[in-house]
Each structure stands twice: as C-alpha cells, then as structure tokens.
A and B are shown apart, each in its own frame.
Chain A
Amino acid sequence: MQITGEQTFTPLITAFCCNWCSYAGADLAGTSRLAYPAEVRIIKVPCSCRINPLFVLRAFQKGADGVIICGCHPGDCHYIMGNYYARRRMTLLFSLLDFMGIERGRTHLEWVSAAEGAKFAATMSGFAENIHKLGKNRRLEDLRCKSS
C-alpha cells in the first residue's frame, strides 16, 4: 500500500459487473486464485445496461474513489445489445464527470468475458493502482453521507 501524506490511503472501489460475462470472469479469477486488491467491491447486475448513471454518482457521493464497469465484449451481450447501451451512456457520463472534476482515471469501462479471469484480475489491479496514484476523491463526496 502506498503512503499519501501521513495517512495510509485505502481507496474504495466499486465495480459493477454483469451477471453473464464479467461477474463470471471475476469468479474465474477467484477459482484461478489470481489476486487483485481487496478494496475492489463488486455489485452484480444482470447486464451492463442495467447500470443507471445514478449508481455511479451515488458511489462517488458516498465516498468511492473509483468506479469501474464491466460488461460482455461487443457482440457477446447476453441481451444482444445491452453493452452498447452501456457504452454510450458511460462515455457520456464519464466525460461529464471529468468536467466536474472527477478525473478520467477514476472511471473505467472494460469488457471482460467469462473466460478472462486473468484479464479481470489485471484490469482490477491496474485500476486500483491508478486510484492509488490519484489519491482520495474529494470532489463529489458528500461528507454528510458519512456514517462514521
């Protein structure tokens, strides 16, 4: 872990994974014992197109330092075209967030298939490393939301 200032910085990373490809990819990373940082916390959704931009905003508001979204590869969506919807929505959302001061490195969209356990682990490690470099997200965090 990296030291920023005097404190140890443990980031909060929220990962949204679609049930059919990327969540299965995460399972495969697990079965293959491929480590990635423990600060990555996964939420399962049926499809990447289920991810409401609101969910991403809420995560940042609640203090997440990075949000990553994973879906099936283009052409492989279980629901035919859900990942295309997700790609459009997230492209727009991520640039809007960038405009609001949430750096590009804090948001990411990645295609991970059910067979890509190694890619899942590598993606998560790379993303976490980026967040470590960027440090704490203070831009959207709503301090009133913090319970403790």
Chain B
Amino acid sequence: MKRVGVFVCHCGTNIAAAVDVGEVVDKARLERGVVFSAEYPYMCSEAGQTMIANAVKEHNLTGVVVSACSPRMHEVTFRKAAAKIGLNPYMLEMANIREQCSWIHKDKDDATKKAVSLTSAAVAKVHLNTPLFAGESPVTKRALVIGGGIAGISVALDVADAGYDVDIVESTPGIGGRMAQLDKTFPTLDCSACILTPKMVDAATHDNITLHTYSEVESVEGFVGDFTVTIRKKARSVDMKKCTGCGACYDKCPAKKAPSEFEEGLSNRKAIYIPFAQAVPNVPVIDREQCIKFKTGKCGLCETVCAPGAIDFEQQDELVTQKYGAVIVATGFRPIELGKFGEYAPESKDVLTSLEFERITNAAGPTKGALVRLSDGRKPKSITFIQCVGSRDTTPRGKAYCSKICCMYTAKHAMLVKDKYPDIDVNVYYIDVRSPGKNFDEFYRRAAEEYGVNYIKGQVGKVVDMGDHLVLQAADMLDNRQITARTDMIVLATAIEPLKSTKPIASMLTASIDTNGFMTEAHPKLKPVESPTAGVFLAGACHGPKDIPETVAQAGAAAAKVLGLLSKSKLTTNPCVAAADELACNGCSACESVCPYGAIGYEDRQINDHGVRGNQRLAAVNTALCQGCGACAVTCPSGAMDLLGFSNRQILAEVDALCR
C-alpha cells in the first residue's frame, strides 16, 4: 500500500473563497492510504513546494496528490519538485479544484463536496501509479532530403549551413525540379534559371551536402533520430569521378530520338544526355533503352570520344546504406495527364499544357524562345488560355482541389506574350481568378488592365483543330452568351498532382498521404511541416499545390524543425506510452492497425507462462514513436495492451471514486 500525502491549495482566495479547504483536508485523511494531508495558501510557491518536500521526507510518502489548479497549469511544476526530492515524478497526481470547481460553483457546499470527490479520485489513481521513466534514443546528426527540386535544395542548404550533413536523393539525373523548366516567375517576372542556378551550384559545392542524383530510396528502417536508409544509385554508365563535363559524348551520340523529359517531349535528346545545359551535376547519363550499344552491341562512339575515359558500359546499380536523424520529403508534383479531357483536343500540336508553354517561351527551349505554332511554325495572331483544366472538377477524371498556381502563371504567360508581341490577341477563360498572395492581385490586374489581356469568365466546352487554326466553343457567364471563337494556339492550365512515387515513399516512412495523394501534415494548423511520423518532415508541392515563395517558406520552416531535432544529443521519449502484456497478447495485429503513428511492430519472443516456455508473436511498441493516444489499448481484444500513466485500472479507479 502506498503512503499518500494530499496537499490542498487555497490559491489565495481563488479556491478558498468557494471551497471549504479544511474540510477537503480532513476528508482526504479518511481516504485509503492517506497518511498526511495539509493546506497552504499557494502550493506552487517556493514555500509550498518545500512543504511538500518536507512532508515526503518526514512521512515517507510514496504518492502525492496536489489539489489545486488545472494540471495543464502546474503539473509540470509539481512533478519537477517531486523529482528533485527523489520521488518519481509520475507518482504525483493533481486534482483540479479551481477551474473545475471553485471558479464555477457558487454554492460552497456543492463546491466542497465536488473538491472532496475530485481529490479522492486522484488518490485512487495515485495508488495505481507506477514510476515511469522517459526513455532515451540516439540522434544521428545527418538529414536525408528526398527530392531535389527548389524545396529539397532550400531545406538542404539551410540545414547544411547550420553545420549538419545532408544528403539529397534525386530520381532524375539532375537537381532543380520543375523550377528549372520555368521561364520567368511571377509575381516579379525574374528569370527562373537566374535565381535557381546559383542555388543548385551552392548545393552541389557545399561541404556538408552530398548529392545522390539518378538515385532512389530503396528502403527505410528505424525511427526518429535513428533512420537507416538504403539508397539505390542507378547505373549512370558514366564514371562521375572521371567525367569532366566536356559534352563530347552527347555531341557525337547518333541515337537522337528520345523525347526530352526536360522539354516536356517537345524536342528530342540523345541516348547519352544531360537534362539541360546548366544541369547539376554536369555529368551525362546513358539511357540504356535508347542506347545503340546496349540494344545491339555496336556503336560505343561516346566511349571513343571521351578523353578521360569516363564511359562505363559495365557499371552496376550501387546500394548505399546510411543512417539519418531526420528525413524531409520534397518530391514535388507533375501536371495531370489529359487523356480524359478530349474536349480540349489535347492531342493537337497547337494545344499546349502550361508547362509546355514555359518551354516554348524559354530562350533555351525547343523553339529558342520564338513563339510559334508547333504544327506549322507560324506566329500566332491569337492565343487563348484556359484555366482550371482538371482543377476544381469533382468528376472522377478531375481533381476536386484548386491547383492554386495556375491563375498566377496564366497571368504571367499572358503578360509575357503581350510584352514581346503586343499585337497578339490574348484571351483567358477562367472560373474565378484567385490571387491572394503578396502582390498577386496587383499582378493579375496589371495583366487585365495595363496589358490588355482579355479575361472572360466562362468555361470552354469544346476545342476543334481546323488545321491552320483552332475553334473553341465557350459560355460567357457574365454576359450570358455562347461564344464560338477562332484562335491560333491554346494553352491549358493543367491541374497538378503529386507524383505516383510519393505513395511508396510515404509507406516506407509510415507517413501518410491524403485522398489526393499529397503528403499529410501532422496537424493542419499547428504542425504544418511535420508529417505524422516523428522525424519526417515535408516541404514543397508534395504536400499540396504551392508556388515557389510558399515552397521556400515551408522548406525554411522544415529546416528549422530538422535543426531543432538534430541539435539534440539524445531524444527523451514520452514515458506515457503503450505496452503489451506478453502473457495476454496473442499477436493478432489489431493494435497495429489502429496506431496512427505506426508505432507497433511484432517480434517473436520466448515467453515463460507460469513455467511453460514457448515462442510467441508479440506486439512490441516502439517507445520512440508512440505518442500515447491509447487507441491500441482500447482496440486490443485480449486486454493485453495498456497505456502507462492512463492504464485501464487507473481510469476505472477514478470512475469508482467519482461515482461513490
């Protein structure tokens, strides 16, 4: 039996005015196991805490109840005081007789009775308390960034600048992501490459950053502070150490029919290639499906022209295993496929997606920046932009969400056209123009008011390619009339979606994705850059549609969280975690399926059931991951799982005491 002491606080008159404190002290003395009870004007004061400390020593108390304010206010204070005198902090409970009692009940009898009852419940609970100890787990001071777009680059630079090692895993041959494909960027119209390229170079040359390009995450094990990740470095067929980036190989390569991913398929690249001229790293890759040497065994021209002898047809995939303390997911987005949007004639050469349009307007793009129809090379007299293609579309083929960036980049595209060719007639069909960012509305109004871009509120129902021009049918919702218009080029502001590879990444990390496939944050308001899995953070468009400023801001926030984690030498874990009774658990997996944090695994352990030894599959809670919600404890059909600090018996004891 525990020796319990009860300490009742007056809180000045906050409690004492409404509750007969003396009565609470006297009644507490009658509770089972209570060997001492006392009152004090301010329990939380130095003197009050000393009083508790002295009583613990003098009366050999093994459990303490403080009847005072809300535990949300001072539980930490009193538990720290308990720890100081050598009592396990979890042997202390509070009864909330201020917020839940004296402050709201006018009748002194009622309030006193309730205070007595709440105190008795705390006493009943404390009898069942057991000492709990915060666990410790190590922190590997290295971070892994998955995805080398602007989000991944920004996080990596921020974390590396603070002195920690960072690895970036990028699936394509070079870093930069979508931003590298853009021409100019809203709302300032500065050139995308001019602001991105220096960042790419910074990342590549930073002492603390290691780039794994043309690489993928193969497997992830472990948990916050202690992840073990295996990275597959796909065979480049070019030795990165020897290559000087001279470019002789791809100049000479005769296999030139592969559609360029970077140019959105608008032009072709060689079988050995770098994605774009400023690519980082500037080391080519052989696309083995296109390479004549790999297909027929002949050719090998690149090998003969490569002076440093970097070409290596025999190269194999390499697996690298590394430990990390934190993982940041920054896998970005892609435009949706338009196969199911036949009404816009997406197969027509003169109907482009916005990303294709970025390449057309780009001086380094397939047309060298010349704005021409891809079907016949003519300069268009009229261009039509259609917004919300696949966005805000609740039918199964579309996306119910707003892709967020399209209103602004369409205004940007329209202005870029008008800037270079004021004579081209520019029309934009829209449902709403959404421009809530900083300087965004001004930007859109400039397009509509100063640049003379013709904004039409309405949806386009049909596009027909007539050969030398296009015809579209639309409804003008403001003038309530049908439009049939002729145009030379159409640009579709295509909805964006997360990459298909995001899902396997999320499941490897036991992080979650939402119904649209975007990564989910741990809390929509308070933990926007954390994933529900401790130690896994989110940045950029993999978490939802985002423009560059937002992406970079989120990347900075994620970096701050990562640094907070990596700067700790050890992690202390919440001691109120779940634990399974090995004699009751039958390994059914019910608990695992409800745990929101993937904290439960199974292990085969030898158990000794009253002398009978045997191997048994048992639930094992990873205390570094468990957040202590208790979902598993309620789900367990065998009553094996329980939550320390809020055990079944503790709560039942409270129920019993309150229902006396």
Contacts and interface: CB of A to CB of B under 8 A. Distances in A.
B100 A59 contact: no
Contacts of A36: 104
Contacts of A59: 655, 659
A38 B70 contact: no
A9 interface: no
Given A14-B658, A46-B576, A49-B631, A31 B99 contact: yes
Interface string A25-40: 0110111011110100
Interface string B69-102: 0111100000000000000000000001011110
A8 interface: no
A64 interface: yes
B630 A46 contact: yes
Contacts of B627: 79
Interface string B605-647: 0000000000000000000000111110111000000010010
B629 A79 contact: yes
B655 A45 contact: no
Interface in A126-148: 147-148
Interface in B511-560: 522-524, 532
A12 B596 contact: no
B107 interface: yes
A12 to B, nearest CB: 6
How many chain B residues sit at the interface, stated as a range, is 35 or more
A47 B629 contact: yes
A26 B104 CA distance: 10
Nearest to A33: B103
A59 B576 CA distance: 24
A36 B72 CA distance: 20
Contacts of B522: 80
A104 interface: no
Interface stretch (B50-58, B113-121, B287-295, B495-503): B113-121
Contacts, number: 124
A58 B656 contact: yes
A53 B652 CA distance: 11
Interface string B111-137: 101100110010000000000000000
A29 B105 CA distance: 11
A46 B643 contact: yes
A63 B656 CA distance: 9
A62 B651 CA distance: 13
A121 B96 CA distance: 16
Given A14-B655, A59-B655, A50 B105 contact: no
B98 A55 contact: no
A147 B660 contact: yes
A85 B114 contact: no
Interface string A69-103: 00000010011111001000100000000000000
Contact of B648 (A47, A52, A89): A52
A46 B71 CA distance: 13
A31 B101 CA distance: 11
A54 interface: yes
Contacts of A89: 634
Given A47-B631, A54-B648, A38 B103 contact: no
Contact of B634 (A29, A38, A50): A50
Contact of B111 (A38, A46, A51, A80): A38
A30 B70 contact: yes
B279 interface: no
A58 B576 contact: no
Contacts of A27: 70, 72-73, 96, 99-100
A50 B646 contact: yes
Contacts of B103: 30-31, 33
B594 interface: yes
A117 to B, nearest CB: 10
Given A14-B655, A29-B104, A49-B634, A75 B114 contact: no
Contact of B98 (A30, A45, A58, A63): A30
A62 B655 contact: yes
Contacts of A45: 630, 646, 651
Contacts of B596: 79-82
A37 B651 CA distance: 22
A104 B101 CA distance: 27
A51 B576 CA distance: 15
A51 B101 CA distance: 23
A81 B532 CA distance: 11
Interface of B: 70-73, 96, 98-101, 103-107, 110-111, 113-114, 117-118, 121, 522-524, 532, 576, 594, 596, 627-631, 633-635, 643, 646, 648, 651-652, 654-656, 658-660
10 contacts: A12-B659, A30-B98, A30-B100, A31-B103, A34-B104, A41-B118, A52-B651, A55-B652, A62-B660, A75-B524
